[in-house]
Every structure is written in structure tokens, then in C-alpha cells.
Structure 1
Amino acid sequence: MMKRDESTGDPELDRLMAEFKSNSKELSGVMEQIGDVRGQATGAGDRITVQVSSSGELTSLRIDPRAMKMGSEELAEAILDAARRATEDAARRLMDLTRPYLGEDDRQAPPRR
């Protein structure tokens, strides 16, 4: 198939179109990376490991057999705490990935924990 000439004849418009195409490709790559972001945290002395997606959805939960000796309330609290921290980790990773595209002044961003 023959490649179509995409020049408009207007240098400024051609420059803007080229910039738009470049930004679109870059944004597409960032969107793919966002889908791959995962947050992870451990709890109960590393006996519980939680992983969440970029949206905070629980994607993995590992409970070491030693954690089964904990009481049910203590185990539930440890899982919830690890899930909360994994979600915070995913949010931090997303912010690090998207910050260059948000146009924010880094001095205004909340401090990292």
C-alpha cells in the first residue's frame, strides 16, 4: 500500500500534527503502563502478602501457614491493613508514573511517606 503524504503545506499545522502524533503514542504507552501498576504490602511479620491492581482491586493474597495461628479478628485486621497499604503503594506508583503528564508543580504535591 502506498504511504499517504500527510503534509498540509502549512509548516505550523504540520508541526502541531507531528507533535500531536508523538504525544498520542507516548500517552498510549503510559496508559499501558498504568494497567501494569501493582501495589504490594506485607503484614503480620511478613506472614501475609497482599497485591492490588492500579485501581485497588485485590489481585493476590498470600497467607503463610504460620498466620493461621492468629485469632480470626487479628488475621482479618492484618489482611485489611496490608490491603490498605498495598493500595497506597499502587497510588504512589501511579502518581510517579503520571506526574510528568499532569502539569503539576512538584512542590505542591503531597510529601511521600
Structure 2
Amino acid sequence: MAERDLRTGDLELDRIMAEFQANSQEFSEVIGLAGEIAGEAASPDDKVRVRVSSSGQLTALHIDPRAMRLGSRELAETIMDLSMRATEDAARRLMDVTRPYLGQGER
């Protein structure tokens, strides 16, 4: 989208509009960063690893063949636990990126 000169002649209105444009650009950049955030978690032996998006959606799952010896119930519990930990990791990363923009009012 092409930027336009939005001067109105009213100094206060022009200042507010310039601030709004700067904040909009900054917000767009933060949204872009948020979309790239992922959370990860791995079992202590690294035989099972998960990766989730910033919204907690599972995007990758690695199961080492040796992890199949765990049995289906233990493997399922491991995957569920790692998914929860990865989602918490993604939430932490998302908060780190967005914290400066949330609830701060005037900066």
C-alpha cells in the first residue's frame, strides 16, 4: 500500500495521524514476528520432539524409532506432555514479543 502525505494543516491532528501511522507500522511488524513464533519441547533422551505454532497447533513431531519401545500409552502421554510444554514455550515467546505493546498506554 502506497504511503500518502496526510497533512491536514492542523498541527495536533497531523501529530496524531503521524503517531497512528508509526504505531500501525510497528503493530504490523509485531504481528509478523508473532506469526513466526514457535514453541518446542523434547523428552529428556531427545527421542521425542514436538514443535507447535504460536497458537499451539502441532506443526512437527519427531519420534525416534527407539521411542516405540515405550508402549503406546507411555508414548501418547509423552507426546501430550511435550505438546503442552511446547505450547507454554510458544506462549512465553509470544509474550516476550508482545509485552511492550500490551497494557502500556503512553510509552
C-alpha contact 1:50 1:79 (8 A) present in aligned 2: yes
**Residues 72-111 of structure 1: pairs in structure 2 closer than 5 A:** 72-103=72-103
TM (norm. structure 2) is 0.89
Aligned-CA RMSD value: 1.5
Distance 1:5 1:103 in 2: 30
Map of 1:8 onto structure 2: 8
Give percent identity, aligned residues only.
62
Q: How many angstroms apart in 2 are the aligned matches of 1:5 and 1:83?
A: 48
Indicate conservation of the 8 Å contact 1:67/1:75, yes or no.
yes
- Structure 2 CA distance for partners of 1:5 and 1:85, relative to 1, 3 Å: closer
Give secondary structure in 2 for the equivalent of 1:103. coil
Give TM-score scaled by structure 1 length: 0.85
Which residue identity is paired with 1:85?
A: R
| Superimposed CA distance per residue, residues 48-68 of structure 1 (whole angstroms, 9 cap, x where no aligned partner) | 000000110000000011101
Distance 2:4 2:71 in 1: 69
| In structure 1, C-alpha distance between the alignment counterparts of 2:4 and 2:32, rounded to whole Å | 28
